[in-house]
Amino acid sequence: MFCLYINTSEARYASIVVDANDGKILHSINADTLNYPASLTKLMTLFILFEALEKGTLTLKTELTTSYRASRAQPSKLGLRPGDKISVERAIFALIAKSANDV
């Protein structure tokens, strides 16, 4: 069974549960609403980050610099300002635990 939950700005909440064996929709709320992929974007960011760790181009201690645009991200954030530094390890925890948009 596959389950996907997405918090969105358009629908505020959307969910869908699909039986992976036959494709039957077991549950859905706002499944057809146009939604922004904020959570999916964070997952893809983590995926790319883990690839870079695996390749050795980054380490958990690598410092990332906060951009102006990231510092203005809403709604969830750590309060990072442009130019602030955060380690890759702390960035991972912030994305996973807080869903921080400024990371």
Residue 98: Cβ within 10 Å count? 13
DSSP conformation class of 27: E
- Taking the model in full, what pTM does it have? 0.61
Give 8's pLDDT tier (boundaries 50, 70, 90): very low
Identity of residue 61:
K
Distance between CA atoms of residues 56 and 78, nearest Å: 27
Q: Contact 38/44 with Cβ under 8 angstroms? A: no
| pLDDT tens column, 17-56 | 888 899 999 999 888 887 655 677 788 889 999 999 999 9
